[in-house]
Amino acid sequence: MRELAYYEAKFEALEEIMSADERVHLINGTFLSLSPHRHVFQNLQKKFSERMFAPPISELGFCGLATGAAMAGLRPIVDLSTGSFIYEAWPQVANEAANAYSMSGGQTRVPVVFHLFHGLRGGGAAQHSGSPQAMLWNVPGLEIAIPSSPRDVKGLLKTAVASDNPTIFVDHTRLLDIRGEVPDNDQAIPFGVADIKRSGSDVTLIATSYTVQVGLQAAGKLAKEGIEVEVVDPRTLVPFDLATILSSVEKTHRVVIGDETHQSCGVAAEIAARIAESGFDKLKTRIRRVSTLDVPVPYSPGLEAHIGPSESRIMDAVRAALA
């Protein structure tokens, strides 16, 4: 199987998606944030320029445009770029797109994808480091995909675009350059299917997005201490695959959850609640969350590193689960 960089897999997906379906339009952004790999976006632009629209700085306006276009039969992908900018568009995403299908009694479909880069990026400070997916999980009517690997970003993006529901596609700039195996043939990954990124029998580490990669690093180091961590990646928050997680918990009896949304009402909080509700009897110790601390993200690099779900905090939590 060939190995690709995450950004290469992502753009391979975009190219295949756009070639296969002329209803797909790209609105705003480069899907690369400030990554130096601009050439892949420019290649896409050369091929599909009539289906790519660079709007003014009007997030509310262009997220509404994308939603309306989806209602009228296009399948737009909006790049909000910095995840915190979805706050400018919140009414259109949460109050219009999310509600349209349900409140129309199932008549109006909204096949729009809202793509964003979340999380701690290194010097982003408070306003450019948001992880809005926890808040968005609390808005019924939105699907949420959150890849962590080259294979997953390609497969999930395809499903996101094919879905008739409004989908939030949660990406992370720190994933763009990681490398991984990507199958040659076209493979969409269904929503609601978690992935066991690493097998282990001692502790179940559930992680999302870039924290999956951090977790794998931590697991590698813990293996040298004789601890075998099973890393489970939900890949989508909505729909959510609880069954795979519970099977893992059945095996290990110990859970640590690593995620970059802030602790209160964060992604880890919801996952912990679901496990506690359905798998309480399988647990031998309390669930431990390793989330970003409940503070506005500080600028200084040391402070920023301190508040996130770092490798050391994850390792400490795993060891504590076994103590």
Partner 1 sequence: MAAKKENPKETIELLRRMWLIRAFEEKVSALYAERQIVGLLHLGIGQEAVAVGALSLLRNDDYVYGGHRSHGHAIAKGADINKLMAEIAGRATGYCGGKGGSMHIVAKECGFITATGVVGGTIPLALGAAFAAKERKKGQIAAVFFGDGAGQSGSFHESLNIASLWQLPVIFICENNGYAEFTPLSAHTKIERLAQHAKTYGIPADTVDGNDLFAVRAAMAKAVDKCRAGKGPIFVECLTHRMRGHYEGDPAKYRELSQLAEWKKKDPIARVARALKSQKTLADKELAAMESEAQALAEKAAEFSLASPWPADDQVARQVTSD
Partner 2 sequence: MLPNLPRENLLELCRRMFTIRHFEENLVLLHDKGVFGGHYHLYVGQEATGVPALSCLRADDYLFTTHRNHGHLLARGVEPKRLFAEILGRVDGLNKGKGGSFHSVAPSLGFLHSSGVVAGIIPLSTGTAYAAKAQKNGRLTVCLFGDGSLEEGAAPEAFNIASLLKLPLLFLCENNGKYGAGRAVAAAQSSSMAAYPLTELPKAYKIPAQQIDGMDAGLVHATISEAVGKIRRGEGPQFVEAQTVRFPGSETNWPTVPKPTNTALAWDVSDVPEKAREWYHSCDPLLIYIRELVEANRANRDEIAAIESQVKSEIAAAVDFATNSPYPKPEEAERDFFA
The set of catalytic residues is 59, 128
Contact 132, 116 (CB under 8 A): yes
Structure tokens given for 312: 């050391």
Q: Residues touching partner 2: how many (CB under 8 A)?
A: 44
Measured CA to CA, the distance from residue 142 to residue 238 in angstroms comes to 7
Structure tokens given for 283: 């647990």
Task: Report residue 37 CA to chain centroid gap.
Answer: 21
6-20 and 150-162 helices cross at what angle (nearest 10)? Answer: 30
**Which residues, 6+ apart, have CB-to-CB distance to 262 below 8 Å?**
131, 134, 291, 292, 293, 294
- Does residue 18 interact with partner 2 by CB under 8 A? no
- Does residue 294 interact with partner 1 by CB under 8 A? yes
Residue among 66 and 176 whose Cβ is closer to partner 2: 66
Residue among 2 and 306 whose Cβ is closer to partner 1: 306
Nearest to 229 by CA among 243, 215, 241: 215
Nearest to 27 by CA among 83, 67, 84: 67
Measured CA to CA, the distance from residue 171 to residue 132 in angstroms comes to 11
Pick the piece of the chain touching partner 2 (CB under 8 A) from 11-19, 92-100, 245-253, 300-308.
Answer: 92-100
Single-letter code of the amino acid located at 78: V
CB of 47 to partner 2, least distance (A): 16
- The pairing of strands 229-233 and 195-198 is antiparallel
- Does residue 109 interact with partner 2 by CB under 8 A? yes
CB of 177 to partner 1, least distance (A): 16
Measured CA to CA, the distance from residue 206 to residue 258 in angstroms comes to 6
- Does residue 296 interact with partner 1 by CB under 8 A? yes
Contact 117, 87 (CB under 8 A): no
Residue among 69 and 314 whose Cβ is closer to partner 2: 69
Q: Which of 23, 37, 45, 61 binds partner 1 (CB under 8 A)?
A: 61
- Does residue 140 interact with partner 2 by CB under 8 A? yes
Q: Which of 8, 12, 143, 171 binds partner 2 (CB under 8 A)?
A: 143
Pick the piece of the chain touching partner 2 (CB under 8 A) from 63-71, 206-214, 247-255, 272-280.
Answer: 63-71
Q: Which of 11, 85, 101, 210 binds partner 2 (CB under 8 A)?
A: 101
Contacts to partner 1 from residues 77-136, by CB under 8 A: 84-85, 88, 122-128
Choose from partner 2, partner 1, none: what does 85 bind? Cβ within 5-8 Å by kind.
partner 1
Q: What is the DSSP letter of 147?
A: -
CB of 69 to partner 2, least distance (A): 4
- Does residue 305 interact with partner 2 by CB under 8 A? no
Please give the C-alpha separations between residue 205 and each of 66, 245, 253, in angstroms, as whole numbers: 36, 10, 11
Measured CA to CA, the distance from residue 250 to residue 281 in angstroms comes to 9
Nearest to 215 by CA among 172, 258, 247: 258
Contacts to partner 2 from residues 29-58, by CB under 8 A: 50-51, 53, 55-56, 58
Contacts to partner 2 from residues 152-191, by CB under 8 A: 163-165
Binding site for partner 1 (CB under 8 A): 34, 54-58, 60-61, 84-85, 88, 122-128, 293-296, 298-303, 306-307
Binding site for partner 2 (CB under 8 A): 25, 50-51, 53, 55-56, 58, 60-74, 91-92, 95-96, 99-109, 111, 140-141, 143, 163-165
